[in-house]
Amino acid sequence: MDLAQFQAELRQEHKDILAYWQRYAPDKEHGGFYGRVDYQNQPDNKADKGIVLNARILWTFSAALRHTHHEEYRPTADQVFQYIRKYFIDPLYGGVYWSVDATGQPKYPLKHLYGQAFALYGLSEYALATHSAPALALAKEQFQNMVKHAFDPKKGGYVEALARDWSPATDYIISKYDNQESKTMNTHLHILEAFTSLYRVWPDKSVAEQIRGMLDMFLKHIVDLKTYRMNMFLDNDWNIRRTAISYGHDIEASWLLPEAADALAAKNPGDKSLQKTVRDVAIKMARAATTGIDASDNGMNYELERNGHLNRERSWWVMAEAMVGFMNAYQLTHEKQFLDKSMQSWEFIKKYLLDLKNGEWYSGVTEDHKILGKDKISMWKCPYHNSRACLEMLERIEHLR
């Protein structure tokens, strides 16, 4: 497959993903977007609606509008922005709820930083795409609340979760409070992603300072500079509490970290050395992540668990991130093996993950390619990883041609 064909296929896939969400995601009864739609495209009109899903829909259609200039994506971006603004923003304490019920009433008001980050990510992209002053104001407020309430000024980084009023919380979603897993790789990766997005639309010194600090935390505490894997669950002092090898997160971080460093260096010449350091680490992270690829089908395994068990599930989001991460490594090194791995990831996606009958992607397949999961839309199954992968690849291939 040559680059022109690769690009053409990804452009069509991007259109198909967005068309699916425009057709099946809108909640015609309660407004907003369904919290769950199954593989037969049947909605659960009683399902709760999560901020992660809604913020990712906001990011997806805002990014599509900005990159393609197709006005057909604006109404969906506008719709989800208004829904988040009306139902997810906490009018009393600021920030966003983790979830609301099907009718939009607050269901789980926990201020989980993972959810706060995605709200900021979506709001920033919407502001960038539409020049919406209200969206930018909300994005700035979101950032300031995160820094004010969740940033650790002594040790660096962000606490995992807080209660609705930003007081300490014991109810963690991604990590285990009882095991003192108060700082996680996953949440920090997406906070960094959100701050980078905000910096594009609001290049304030306070945002740049936070991005530098986050990159420093990754280099000092989250990325193991001996193995170039990431530590997953840590305590307040960055001691490792529990970890494994998450191939998908490692390859995703291998392009998100340099993206953040590039954004800084583009506006601040003094960050050029940081940019070089991060790029060097990112290349080594991509090399390390290649061990997660199964030679039998070029699919990337999900995780090497801490007990040594290899989880050989091929997840939709892992394969999407592999495609981008290896392309990024190719751009940094010009080593053809990385371009090959990026293309092979797409071939795997086409063969095993695309639902050619009902649309969108399956959530994953087993090692022998049996379909896993049951939802096309859920709290976690969203249009962000796969649509973003398409956009990233289209732009990167354009630079190569």
- The pLDDT, as a whole number, for residue 306 is 87
Show the tokens assigned to 350.
């086409």
Averaged confidence pLDDT in the chain: 97
pLDDT bucket at 328, cuts 50 / 70 / 90 = very high
- What distance in Å separates the CA atoms of residue 207 and residue 199, rounded to the nearest whole number? 6
- pLDDT exceeds cutoff 90 at 103: yes
Reported CATH class of domain 3-400 = mainly alpha
- pLDDT tens-place string over residues 216-275: 999 999 999 999 999 999 999 999 999 999 999 999 999 999 999 999 999 999 999 999
- What distance in Å separates the CA atoms of residue 148 and residue 83, rounded to the nearest whole number? 25
What is the bridge-based pairing of β-strands 245-246 and 303-304? antiparallel
Show the tokens assigned to 371.
């379909």
142 with 116: CB under 8 angstroms?
Answer: yes
Rounded mean pLDDT of 114-119? 98
Rounded mean pLDDT of 206-219? 98
Q: Quickly list H helices, 268-333.
A: 272-289, 316-333
In the chain, the percentage of residues whose pLDDT exceeds 70 is: 100
- Predicted TM-score (pTM) of the model is 0.97
- The pLDDT, as a whole number, for residue 266 is 97
pLDDT bucket at 149, cuts 50 / 70 / 90 = very high
- What distance in Å separates the CA atoms of residue 311 and residue 317, rounded to the nearest whole number? 15
- What distance in Å separates the CA atoms of residue 219 and residue 305, rounded to the nearest whole number? 23
181 SS3 class = coil
- pLDDT tens-place string over residues 278-326: 999 999 999 999 999 999 999 999 999 988 999 999 999 999 999 999 9
Domain boundaries, the chain: 3-400
pLDDT bucket at 81, cuts 50 / 70 / 90 = very high
The H or E element spanning position 140 is helix 133-150
**DSSP class per residue in 377-399:** ESSS--SHHHHHHHHHHHHHHHH
Cβ neighbour number for residue 358 with a 10 Å cutoff? 13
Rounded mean pLDDT of 349-364? 98
- What distance in Å separates the CA atoms of residue 100 and residue 86, rounded to the nearest whole number? 11
- The pLDDT, as a whole number, for residue 1 is 80
Beta strand extents in 209-276 (DSSP E only): 223-224, 229-230, 233-234, 240-242, 245-246
Rounded mean pLDDT of 162-168? 98
36 with 45: CB under 8 angstroms?
Answer: no
pLDDT bucket at 335, cuts 50 / 70 / 90 = very high
In order of 284, 305, 339, 345, the CA distances from 293 in angstroms are 15, 15, 14, 10
236 with 180: CB under 8 angstroms?
Answer: yes
308: left (phi over 0), alpha (psi -120 to 50) or beta: left
- The pLDDT, as a whole number, for residue 117 is 98
369: left (phi over 0), alpha (psi -120 to 50) or beta: left
Q: Which residue type, as a one-letter code, is found at position 318?
A: V
- What distance in Å separates the CA atoms of residue 258 and residue 369, rounded to the nearest whole number? 33
Q: Maximum CA pair distance of the chain?
A: 54
Backbone angles phi, psi at 179, to 5 degrees: -100, 15
pLDDT bucket at 369, cuts 50 / 70 / 90 = very high
- What distance in Å separates the CA atoms of residue 393 and residue 60, rounded to the nearest whole number? 15
- pLDDT exceeds cutoff 80 at 401: no
